[in-house]
Amino acid sequence: MIANDLPQFKRPNGEPARVLVTGASGYIGGRLVTELINHGYRVRVLVRDANRLKDHPWFETVEVITGDAFKIADLETALADVDVAYYMLHALLEKDEFEAKERQLATTFGEAAKKAKVRRIVYLGGMIAKDSKLSPHLESRAETGEILRASGVPTIELRAGVVIGSGSASFEMLRYLTERLPIMTVPKWVQSKIQPIAIRDVLRYLVGSAALPSDINDHFDIGGPDIFTYAEMMQQYAEAAGLRRRIIIPIPVLTPRLSSGWVGLVTPVPYTLAKRLVASLKNKVVAEDDRIRQLIPDPDGGLTHFKRAVELALTKIKDASVETRWSNASTPGTPSEPLPTDPDWAGGSLYLDERIAESTDSIDEVWARVESIGGENGYSTATWAWEARGLIDRIFGGVGLRRGRRDPNHLLVGEALDFWRVEELDRPKRLRLRAEMKMPGLAWLEWTVTAKPDGHGTRVVQRATYAPKGLLGHLYWWAVWPMHGLVFPSMVKTVAQGKRKRSKS
């Protein structure tokens, strides 16, 4: 939580301003909602699926508008009677034409905000090195800022570099590279200068921007008090984490494309996102000026130093109190496919693997095992099979298993779990996961927990559903079918009868 010493933007009648937060299911957006509430603002969020927010502690405190940020009508509804709009949308995880999609998002949002007479837009973009060839990602971020500032609505664009906090993509990349590789050969971009910033300081600037004078329509760099090379950041991380000093050997032949694949294999960050993060680090990422600190003063004690930010992040990870993660964000305009049993399923071939097991344990005991599945807890026997599938997925550019879990024992709707996404969570009755690994089709894994008909004990139904796409999809199912016979029976038995060790909360 950031210090509550910032001025609050109020309406002429003295009421606290109403603010809209887009991207509330994402890493920074979800935390921003908490801070805005703590600072007395009336908060509204725009989300495509309200169920993805229902487990957040602030869900009952905010006004939720269900809609698509690509649709002008939905934006007009969300922006009605809004004073300050936080633009936290991006298409970073989009594989194709992400620049065009970001341009469309920003243009539509700016038009809707002007029509709704919004007084201020606050946008979090990326830090840009002057006189340098920008990566497509940073060019898109810069263009987004230009579009919003030209919309006719005064816009504060905050430009950040590497954000350090539990659950951020940049932090996860740094963490896994440093922890997994005591000796590493690295590309030359690790010698680029970087000015990281703690998530708490990013949130302070975002909240403080709401109350800035209405005539300000500009961009501002935001950075922490330290400037390092990426290699120095890894050494600083190792020291903060109690690890030995890393042996880092730069090799100029490792191109950004090759090093992105290397990052994708070693860290939880998928190749598509790793490629854009790495491309952003080729140039110097250091604040050009500190004008923002004149408008939003530093907190007592100053901005957070890098090593302190790492220590805070690691403490949250250790205590399983990570609020939001980069992997939980969804991409605007790309809703999930329906479950084949849903009313709007379009038909086609369908494969089903159903297993049933019974237990003398109570429903609550069995459910605890269901909800703690995956991550470091594992799945059952044949752990090697899951790890092999995860490695194959990483090789082909998928997410693999390294995304893990945000919390070892408790899930949220919409969050990532290894190479799954939590699609439905109805405690203590049903958990449904949707596969996000690379495959020629769509797949779900679901557990339903009920009392046995005689009232003594619990019944577990485990159902794997697969909808193939094309001939390759059918071949894929039959290729992995022998593995199902090895993995699924032990999995449902473990869930029902309990042998897998759960992490302590």
Question: For the residues of 447-467, what is the DSSP string, one character each?
Answer: EEEEE-TTSSSEEEEEEEEEE
pLDDT score for 445: 92
- Residue 391 and residue 245 share a domain: no
C-alpha 262/C-alpha 489 separation (Å) is 35
Residue 334 lies in a domain: no
Residue 423 lies in a domain: yes
Please tell me what DSSP assigns to residue 419: T
Backbone angles phi, psi at 183, to 5 degrees: -125, 130
Query: What is the SS3 assignment for 359?
Result: strand
C-alpha 389/C-alpha 387 separation (Å) is 5
Residue 215: CB atoms within 10 A of its CB come to 7
- Residue 307 and residue 180 share a domain: yes
Please tell me what DSSP assigns to residue 496: H
Q: What angle do helix axes 98-115 and 72-79 make, rounded to 10 degrees?
A: 50
C-alpha 325/C-alpha 41 separation (Å) is 24
C-alpha 225/C-alpha 196 separation (Å) is 8
C-alpha 434/C-alpha 446 separation (Å) is 9
Domain end marker among 260, 292, 326: 326
Residue 256 lies in a domain: yes
Helix (H) or strand (E) holding 271: helix 271-280
C-alpha 500/C-alpha 383 separation (Å) is 12
What pLDDT digit, counting tens, does each position of 279-313 carry? Answer: 667 778 888 888 999 999 999 889 999 999 998 88
- Residue 458 and residue 389 share a domain: yes
Query: What is the SS3 assignment for 70?
Result: coil
- Residue 282 and residue 151 share a domain: yes
We report the CATH number of the domain holding residue 446 as: 3.30.530.20
- Residue 371 and residue 250 share a domain: no
C-alpha 439/C-alpha 466 separation (Å) is 10
Residue 505 lies in a domain: no
Domains identified in the chain, total number: 2
Rama region for 360: left / alpha / beta (φ>0; ψ in -120 to 50; rest): alpha
pLDDT, averaged in runs of 10, over the chain (505 residues): 81 93 88 94 92 83 92 94 93 64 91 96 87 72 92 95 83 82 79 90 96 93 93 91 87 62 65 66 82 93 92 76 55 45 49 91 94 85 77 76 80 86 90 89 92 88 87 86 87 84 45
- Residue 358 and residue 220 share a domain: no
We report the CATH number of the domain holding residue 59 as: 3.40.50.720
Burial of 96 (C-beta count, 10 Å sphere; 0-12/13-18/19+)? exposed
pLDDT score for 333: 40
For the chain, the residue count is 505
- How do the residues of the chain divide into helix, strand and coil, expressed in percent and rounded to 5? 35, 20, 45
C-alpha 495/C-alpha 407 separation (Å) is 18
CB pairs under 8 A, 24+ apart, for 286-294?
A: 286/127, 286/129, 286/161, 286/193, 286/194, 286/195, 286/223, 286/227, 287/127, 287/195, 287/221, 287/222, 287/223, 288/130, 288/221, 289/221, 290/221, 291/220, 292/158, 292/205, 292/220, 292/221, 292/222
pLDDT score for 336: 46
C-alpha 27/C-alpha 329 separation (Å) is 7
Domain end marker among 291, 326, 361: 326
- Residue 432 and residue 392 share a domain: yes
pLDDT score for 269: 67
Residue 336 lies in a domain: no
- Residue 389 and residue 430 share a domain: yes
Given CA atoms 196, 202, 208, 209 in this order, what sign does their dihedral have? positive
**Contact assessment for residue 465 and residue 341, using Cβ atoms and an 8 Å cutoff:** yes
| Tokens encoding 25 | 């299911």
C-alpha 105/C-alpha 70 separation (Å) is 6
**Contact assessment for residue 157 and residue 195, using Cβ atoms and an 8 Å cutoff:** no
Show the beta-strand stretches assigned E in 53-208.
Answer: 63-66, 84-87, 120-126, 155-160, 163-164, 183-186, 193-194, 197-198
C-alpha 407/C-alpha 503 separation (Å) is 9
| Tokens encoding 149 | 């500032």
User: Given the DSSP bridges, would you call strands 120-126 and 218-222 parallel, antiparallel or unpaired?
Assistant: unpaired
- Residue 406 and residue 317 share a domain: no
- Residue 227 and residue 171 share a domain: yes
Tell me which residue range forms the domain holding 368: 351-497
Question: pTM to 2 decimals?
Answer: 0.72
- Residue 234 and residue 148 share a domain: yes
Residue 11 lies in a domain: no
- Residue 172 and residue 70 share a domain: yes
pLDDT score for 342: 43
Residue 341 lies in a domain: no
**Contact assessment for residue 82 and residue 118, using Cβ atoms and an 8 Å cutoff:** yes
| Tokens encoding 166 | 């539990």
Residue 332 lies in a domain: no
